[in-house]
Amino acid sequence: MLFDLHPKESRKELFGRDNEVDYAIKQLLSGNWLIVGGQREIGKTSLVKVVLNELRKKHGFEGIYINLRGVRSLNSLLNILTSQLNSLKLSVDVKVNFIIGSAGIKVKKGAKVVNSLIELLNSLNDFILALDEVQELSKVSKQFLDILGNVFSTNPKLRFIFTGSYIGVMRILLNPPAESPLHGRPPAVLTLKPFDEEKAKEFLRKGMEELNVKFDREDEVVKRLDGVVGWLTLFGNLYAVRGLNFDKALKETMEEGKKIMAEEFSHFLEDKVNKELYVEIMKTVKIVSRWKEIKRGVEVTLGKVDDKVFSNALESLVNSGFVEKRDNEYIITDPVLREVEFEKLFH
C-alpha cells in the first residue's frame, strides 16, 4: 500500500524509483560500494530495503540493514552486527576474536573491537551491509575508515550501502586521503530527488485508487507538500486510511511533519557547541538567501560572527540536508522544514 507509513520492502510497493533501484543493483553487482543521498523523508530507507531484498531473492546475496541512529561507538556497531548475523543464522568463519556456540557467535572477552570488526566483516561472502545514518559514527570516523579500508582491500565479496548526511565518514568516503586504501575508489553515488509535480500527483492518484477513494485535489496537496514522498504518504494515510477530512489531513500532515523535522534538527544540534548560530541561520534563511545577507541577519541577533565559523556552520547545514545551495543561494527546500519555528526549540 503506497500510503503505508512503514519503509517499503519490495519493488511493487515502491513508487517511481525503478531506475534508481536498477542503478543501485547494477553498482553493487559490479563490486562497487554505494552511497544513497537525499533530503530527509525522501525515501532512502525504502529504496535500500528494496535493493537488499532484490539482491537476496534474485542474485543470492545475503544482507543486513542497520539504522545507526544513536550508535556512536564501534563497540555498539559490533554488538548490533553480531546480533543481526545470529538472527540470520548465518555461518561465518571467525576463530580469532569470537566464540561460536549454539546461539551463534559471541565476541571473546578482551578481544579488541577494531580487530573483531575487521575479522567479522572479512568473513562475509556475497553479502551487502547497509548502514543508514552513517554520520552518527563521525566521532570514531578515523578507526571506522581504517576498518573500511582494510575490508575494501581484503574482501571484495562484501559490499556496503551507506546513507546519511555528507559529513564526517561520508565526506571522507567520497574524498579519501591519498594514503587510504579507498583512495581512487570512491563509492558510486545515488541521490534521490523529490518527485516532480506530475509524478507527485500520480503518486497520490495511485495511492487513492488502491483504497478506492475518490480524490481530485492533488494540485492543492502538491502545492503545499511539494514532491517529498514522506509528506505525501503521511497526507494520504491521514486522509484515505484514517478518514480525516481534507483540511484536517493537510493540517495534521504539516503539524506531524514539523515535529519530525524539529526532532531531526534537535538531534543534529546535540554535539554542536554553538547551537544558537545554527538556529539563527535557519531562521534567517527563511527570509534571505545570499551568504552576506544571511550573515548580516544572523549578526543582528548574535553580534559579530567570524566568517569561517559562519561558513562552516552554513556548510554543515547544507551537508546535513537542512539547507540546499543553488547558484550561490541558500534555500530551505523542504516545505515542512520551512515552517518549523526554530526559535522555540530551546525555550
Measured between alpha carbons, how far apart are the two ends of the chain, in Å? 40
Give the tens place of pLDDT for each residue, 290-340: 999 999 999 999 999 999 999 999 999 999 999 999 999 999 999 999 999
Q: What is the pLDDT of residues 217-266, one digit of tens each?
A: 999 999 999 999 999 999 999 999 999 999 999 999 999 999 999 999 99
CB count within 10 Å of CB 16 equals: 17
- The amino acid that residue 178 corresponds to is A
Q: What is the pLDDT of residue 15?
A: 97
Q: What share of the chain is helix, strand, coil (3-state, %, to 5)?
A: 55, 10, 35
In angstroms, what CA-CA distances link 12 with 29, 184, 244, 325? 21, 36, 27, 34
**Element (DSSP H or E) covering residue 115:** helix 113-122
pLDDT at 102: 87
Dig out the grid coordinates for 14 from the structure: 515502491
DSSP state of 5: S
Is-above-0.85 flag for pTM?
A: yes
Which of 314, 316, 313, 284 lies closest to 299 in space, CA to CA? Answer: 284
pLDDT at 346: 66
Return the pLDDT at 347: 56
pLDDT in tens, the chain (347 residues): 999 999 999 999 999 999 999 999 999 999 999 999 999 999 999 999 999 999 999 999 999 999 999 999 999 999 999 999 999 988 889 999 999 988 899 999 999 999 999 999 999 999 999 999 999 998 898 999 999 999 999 999 999 999 988 877 888 888 888 888 888 788 999 999 999 999 999 999 999 999 999 999 999 999 999 999 999 999 999 999 999 999 999 999 999 999 999 999 999 999 899 999 999 999 999 999 999 999 999 999 999 999 999 999 999 999 999 999 999 999 999 999 999 999 887 65
